[in-house]
Structure 1
């Protein structure tokens, strides 16, 4: 480590071992410059003042005694605000020691020479020597100053950084954690200013922040300086990228892109008011446009992956784009602290037992449920009104809110994304939060009893009243091994990452119609014939598809992103995606659906499943489904996706569907594409050998198979006692199918709830030699244990597993 002197060190001379000298933030910047440059990671050049410079400042100005005296007053009951103000005023009023000032101005001139500019604009950032440690995150406790210009401005900014070590919130934070105020020093980082005010900036994590899923990079972006994202002032763009396929240059593994509202941006002020920056509203074009294009998203994701690989832990990073050159930069990198502390062997699951009236919704932070009385606060000046255990409702939060955030049952904000202050702190505290609702402070009222649910995927909902819910703790430390594959039924893409820790063997059933119903919401034929639809429907579609001139592309992209999230959650294990199986009455409920769906007396055995795919009434809609699957498999590279055809009545229909799929670019066998068929009609069992010639596997739909075998309406309460999957007619059908399929070297699975509710049924399946059983995630451990028991019993009887 080469020093300019004892008080200044250039970033290239720093490494991660220098936290005690220049703090975590500055040490990390040096580490990046020295080790990640070959990977293409760009970091703005600059230098850091040392902890010795800070200590010199305290000693020469008599400030050490001031701090000790004021902290003692705090411990004797003097108000925190008075103590903090007194310390800060003393620090700002003191002169920097001559040696420190000389070192800083000399380095600043050298930086200007390197950049080819006299008195360059720089960013001046605080970096505490106790900052970003895994056991105590001090991030955000100190100040940063942007657009600093000239030597005197720089020296003043350095003192303000030093003084920010004693903001009220920083003092409170250290008191809570038991840190000695005089043992924490501060370094000042001085960097080339990235003109992100002319472009955009944001935050990224090398991990899914809500679930800890380690194979994604989450990127948030907004126009202007990045403070709007961190401060939760805007609802930013959100991009999710799948790391394992980033190295394949032909792939674009962007799992999802969400265009945020990006209501405002921070830009540089003209200086006339004395302010360095100002906030302005964004225009309609900016709000409707993504900040980053696909190549920029993938570049940042590759950098995040490289940085994580170098550090060996999940990372939390800030990035900025220079509007003059278009260049991207990483301006901060530190270890992620929340998911790193989660206990890997334990998985908590929450579920609402009863429904309720939804009051508002936004992005779910965490996966818990909480109840309580609403406390609406408009500013941090009102925090004395907060009652411990209440649901905190406010517009945005910043570090001034932290003393009450830890006492809240839940947190709900009008603005902010997954990397906003409210989201980061609530995760760290383990408090469920919903951010970016847009209207919580207007919709919810003081004293109102509510339930805050983050257990339903990406969207969190505030319900009226105190609802009944359950919390389960799943211990993954001792899951038995089984020869029979136990897979998951995953319907909601937004919740797929929540279950990544379960040692499942893949996904046995992912339903396209759930993705369409919850993430697309529009009938595909209405999108295809948008110009001809009813005016009221056109307005609804236009609102849902803002930013999409190509309306069918909206369907393809939304469906592809939903399927991709599920496929990524279990990569590289197989994920069986069932093509749409809405009934006509269900399709009609989609936006624009009524115009394209007939009225049927019995939709359960009507125009559904395979019969729709080649018919004139839906062929073009099925083409969009095929385009989405091709995008997932070919463009993103998630070739673990297996396609499954539901409700295929005849072998002739099977041939028609396979031909139609091939016309739309999905040819069985090409690029390893496997196509399964649902075995849910007696014809599938009776003609299993012929269906096996056309498909690569079977998945038993036990509900429909039981219904059609016994002639019992599965929804009839009057016939409920007759609906029994263990009826010999059903079990013999299953046994026959498995034997016939295995003779043709085809796999057979079953997707349904019965094996978890009925160990005897699991035993029947294992005895028959079924290859896989697929169940809901919360039933996984029970089924795994039931299957293990059945396999032991079979082994004790001398039967070998196939």
Structure 2
């Protein structure tokens, strides 16, 4: 006797042909994950055999095939008509009595009038080669046998959605070979809690050493649809695996404007309501739950042995977490040996800003799309602008050169489709449909890290294709100079050997924005515009100092994780006093100097009473990165240290803040950028573990040339014999003391002979800006191959 229903607990991954990809995955997880303490809601599958029997008894197979065969595969002009005809056949056919009885019996085993999720599960779904994500329908908060049977039939009909028909065509699946199972699963009451999506890699770059997780209040459908801008989190996999105290790399709050909850009036099972003011500002997931989910994601990825796309939910009543779906991630299976880089030299203020999906720039004509009725407006190469996108739009989205939406995060439908189509998108702008007009020509850039920006008009930009296959690793380490943590995962794909210089100042000025002493002395500050601005930025922090520590640690942590286990050398803050004054509250704590370039900067600040407590916040953040987050590939570097005595004071100060050279493998480097650093190199080498030559500062101080002065800038030259002699001396003296030394600067990529000179001197590493890295590597290769 044919079984039309089967409990999830009896399903194996080998049952894909009888229960579809989604249900086979759920059964396998319940069997393998439950013993590990991972909750997967129980339920049952209505088998593919039931679907086949439904078609056979109603003699629908031949009519469906004839209708699908009538599809114009070249133009798809009759796709809506074909899909509508197929769905009408399904909706007008009753489910056979025997199948109805079996579904009802299995449903009653779950509990009388139990709320369930009813999800389509196709035999061609959740495969490594094609996800079919969003192609078939799901129905939530279904109660009672009658509503359940209707939901099952609606799932059957969704096999013939326009988008599903086209997806099968695009991926080479025969329409009649694909069968549909239906999963019936306990509903997690996340309408009173939160839910979201997790990827076991970064969905943008494919970087696989993190878990990327999104979360919002209410049912997870809002996150999947892109109807809400969710909270975003990154966790570091090695730290999760080692159960270190703080594996969370980054937390970014989302607007979370609305949530989907159970309806109580009985007419519709669900409704969308605004979130409260508190819900908008609070994170929708506690850190302990976030870490728990991260660990579960690692186990699920281990089970499937491939990166995974996982849906989770938190029951607001019981507080329990559950995994409700898991499928293989399909976009980043192959890593290209070619990278395309983009650079826009001149750009105005953007019209709107959102989250970047992809790493490209494009110009085109705006088409505002509100529904499928606007499909005829979209031409090849247009930029689709919408509130949110819908799975029904997949066909028209293929015509677009990029997508811009008001709502959604990086796990929304628009983001997933953009990645699959190989185009970029800016999601979650909030005001795109207001700021942009039909027919307007705009330029959309996702080439500047985390943010995507839309500019008015057709702007100019540069594109470079970087071929990585012919770049062999050099003996002289080629490293990167970085400032923006949002570009870390992308930059880690480059053929580099670590980060030779991570500038802390960019992070402080963009992610923190507040002078550290204004946070230390917040309670003593008089009421002012600056104090109100500080309060607004730090409202989530009762301890204002913790705002600085957490923000800085998160940004540094993202870079260190991206390049782990390769070394990341973090230069402690090197603002000049005039630059520090530009930070919020800075004018209360900074002196006014005639020549800040040679004034209160670098090492001299760290132990001085005017800044010592601010430096303490920097040290606390670095201690958190190394010891709590487990990123011990971070090395620290002291800039502008004028004399060995000053070096001793800085090291003593760092030790007082918990950063002791040699303890827990901590290495502390020093910048070489003052002639005294060269002359007294051996004395400095007794204090520090390594050195990095800052060629710009060193050259200007050797030649007495202000590199920022247009009048004398022509005299600035790293190839000057005086500069080269000083470089040769410091490399020689440092190497004699058995310490490592590198150089950060533009000259080795611009001038092959300069790179050759450094290689000849035996320098250990050369660090380049990202746009100069490939040229620099080639110059090193030429020098080493002499």
Question: TM over 0.5, yes or no?
Answer: yes
Q: How does 1:643-654 map to 2 (within 5 A)?
A: 643-654=636-647
Give the distance between the partners of 2:403 and 2:539, measured in 1 at CA: 29
The equivalent position to 1:17 in structure 2, one of 3, 14, 25, is 14
Q: How does 1:268-347 map to 2 (within 5 A)?
A: 268-272=262-266, 274-340=267-333, 342-347=334-339
> Does the aligned pair in 1 maintain the 2:210–2:235 contact within 8 Å?
yes
Give the distance between the partners of 1:170 and 1:34, measured in 2 at CA: 30
Offset, 1:5: 4.2
Give the distance between the partners of 1:402 and 1:594, measured in 2 at CA: 53
Query: What are the Cα deviations for residues 47-82 of structure 1, in whole angstroms up to 9, with x where unaligned?
Result: 112211111101111222332343345449884334
Q: Tell me the residue number matched to 2:80.
A: 81
For structure 1, which runs of at least 5 residues remain unmatched after alignment? 794-802
The alignment's C-alpha RMSD in Å is 1.8
Give the distance between the partners of 2:12 and 2:336, measured in 1 at CA: 30
- Partner SS, residue 354 of structure 1: coil
Q: Tell me the residue number matched to 2:50.
A: 53
| Distance verdict in 2 for CA 1:211–1:353, change over 3 Å | same
Give the distance between the partners of 2:541 and 2:603, measured in 1 at CA: 29
The equivalent position to 1:32 in structure 2, one of 18, 22, 29, is 29
- Partner SS, residue 358 of structure 1: coil
Query: What are the Cα deviations for residues 87-120 of structure 1, in whole angstroms up to 9, with x where unaligned?
Result: 323312211122322222222233x2xxxx3232
Matched, 1:493 2:492: no
Give the distance between the partners of 1:168 and 1:674, measured in 2 at CA: 60
- Partner SS, residue 270 of structure 1: coil
Q: Tell me the residue number matched to 1:664.
A: 657
Query: What are the Cα deviations for residues 255-308 of structure 1, in whole angstroms up to 9, with x where unaligned?
Result: 001111111111101134x10011111101111111212221111111111211
The equivalent position to 2:428 in structure 1, one of 432, 436, 456, is 436
Query: What are the Cα deviations for residues 410-435 of structure 1, in whole angstroms up to 9, with x where unaligned?
Result: 11111111101111111111111111
> Does the aligned pair in 2 maintain the 1:208–1:214 contact within 8 Å?
yes
- Partner SS, residue 699 of structure 2: helix
Matched, 1:233 2:233: no
Give the distance between the partners of 1:471 and 1:175, measured in 2 at CA: 33
- Partner SS, residue 677 of structure 1: strand
- Partner SS, residue 249 of structure 2: strand
Q: How does 1:50-449 map to 2 (within 5 A)?
A: 50-75=47-72, 79-110=78-109, 112=110, 117-272=111-266, 274-340=267-333, 342-449=334-441
Q: Tell me the residue number matched to 2:498.
A: 506
The equivalent position to 1:568 in structure 2, one of 561, 564, 568, is 561
Query: What are the Cα deviations for residues 164-199 of structure 1, in whole angstroms up to 9, with x where unaligned?
Result: 112232233334445332222110001122111111
- Partner SS, residue 455 of structure 1: strand
Deviates more, 1:572-581 or 1:13-22: 13-22
- Partner SS, residue 686 of structure 2: helix
Give the distance between the partners of 2:672 and 2:510, measured in 1 at CA: 26
Q: If the length of structure 2 is used for normalisation, what is the TM-score?
A: 0.97
> Does the aligned pair in 1 maintain the 2:191–2:316 contact within 8 Å?
yes
> Does the aligned pair in 2 maintain the 1:363–1:417 contact within 8 Å?
yes
Q: Tell me the residue number matched to 1:797.
A: none
The equivalent position to 1:596 in structure 2, one of 569, 589, 598, is 589
Query: What are the Cα deviations for residues 706-740 of structure 1, in whole angstroms up to 9, with x where unaligned?
Result: 00001011122232332111212111111111121
Offset, 1:597: 2.3
- Partner SS, residue 549 of structure 1: coil
For structure 2, which runs of at least 5 residues remain unmatched after alignment? none
* Number of residues of Structure 1 aligned to a counterpart in Structure 2: 783
Give the distance between the partners of 2:37 and 2:376, measured in 1 at CA: 49
Query: What are the Cα deviations for residues 99-143 of structure 1, in whole angstroms up to 9, with x where unaligned?
Result: 322222222233x2xxxx323221111011111233333111111
Query: What are the Cα deviations for residues 589-634 of structure 1, in whole angstroms up to 9, with x where unaligned?
Result: 2222223223322221121111111222222211111111111011
Query: What are the Cα deviations for residues 456-485 of structure 1, in whole angstroms up to 9, with x where unaligned?
Result: 111111122222112222222222232211
> Does the aligned pair in 1 maintain the 2:72–2:79 contact within 8 Å?
no
> Does the aligned pair in 2 maintain the 1:480–1:785 contact within 8 Å?
no
- Partner SS, residue 734 of structure 1: helix
> Does the aligned pair in 2 maintain the 1:533–1:592 contact within 8 Å?
no
> Does the aligned pair in 1 maintain the 2:131–2:329 contact within 8 Å?
no
Give the distance between the partners of 1:755 and 1:40, measured in 2 at CA: 54
Query: What are the Cα deviations for residues 177-223 of structure 1, in whole angstroms up to 9, with x where unaligned?
Result: 45332222110001122111111110000000000001000000011
Give the distance between the partners of 1:400 and 1:167, measured in 2 at CA: 8
Deviates more, 1:498-507 or 1:539-548: 539-548
Give the distance between the partners of 1:765 and 1:74, measured in 2 at CA: 66
Q: Tell me the residue number matched to 1:474.
A: 466
> Does the aligned pair in 2 maintain the 1:406–1:431 contact within 8 Å?
no
Q: Tell me the residue number matched to 1:777.
A: 770
